[in-house]
Amino acid sequence: MHKNLVFLFILSISALNCRKDHGVHPHIITEPNWDRYVVDKIYDYNNRLIANYTYSPDIKLLRVDYTDPVNNTNSSYEFTYENTFVKSIQVVSNNYPLSNYQIRIFYNFQGRIIRDESWKNGTRVGYSNYEYDGNKRISNLKRDNGDRNYFLSYDGEANIKQAKINLQDPYSGATSTQYRDFKYDTHQKPDFGLAYVFQVEPLPQFGTEAPLEKNISAHNMTEYSGSGTQWIYTYNDHNLPATIETKWKGINTVQPMLLRLEYKKVQ
């Protein structure tokens, strides 16, 4: 009897470790089943396909293809891996190839991202360096020539509640400080098989507001106080976002800016 209990305990620990490998944020309490669902396709309000996701056999995101049916444009992200880590991301516009560029990602010996660089036509055009706090969370980043510093603070659920940005004018040397505050729900975020890569926004038509804060927080962002933008979610039976509606402060759109997420079971 004692041996059976020990065996069951070891089996439970092994299952938990496997669950962590899926890239689910470590601070999220998941439902007591081991089923995993990744985003397969995303449709707009009119049920037109606007994003398709391609994964490797071990469920690493390899490619995202985006379609904008209104402007008749197409673009994609292409992910390259090295030793299970995303090494580079190719950002491709089929309609405007001159805007194509590559993001290169660098890790420390613990597997945490410490730097990324943007390259275009063989020239580095930007970079960011990342520092971590005692809880292994990104606490500070410096972009380009160090004239811009981001300091991040978290709530008790591992969401970024505030970003403090120190700005410096490259000509006058004058400095200023900005604060950005964020709110979140308590649900799991969509799984894209990217683990903790945060350099690109995998959701289509989601804008460029606070992509870093969205991607490294544990839960789904619902409000960015700096702009007043809100994101309204509905959820499926697996506690994952089924629809996401973006609402800009003071702006009414003819049709809702709505995404419909379709998942596929991978385990």
* SS3 label, residue 155: coil
Q: Is residue 23 pLDDT above 70, yes or no?
A: no
Confidence of residue 140 (pLDDT cuts 50, 70, 90): very high
Higher pLDDT, 12 or 199: 199
Higher pLDDT, 23 or 41: 41
The pLDDT tens digits of the residues spanning 219-237 come to 999 999 889 999 999 999 9
What value does the mean pLDDT take over residues 172-189? 93
What value does the mean pLDDT take over residues 21-29? 45
Q: Is residue 108 pLDDT above 70, yes or no?
A: yes
Higher pLDDT, 22 or 148: 148
CATH architecture classification, 2-265: Beta Barrel (2.40)
Beta bridge partners of 201: none
- Sheet strands (E) in 112-256: 113-120, 123-132, 138-143, 148-154, 160-168, 175-184, 221-224, 229-235, 241-247
The pLDDT tens digits of the residues spanning 77-87 come to 999 999 899 99
pLDDT of residue 146: 63
What element of type H or E holds 232? strand 229-235
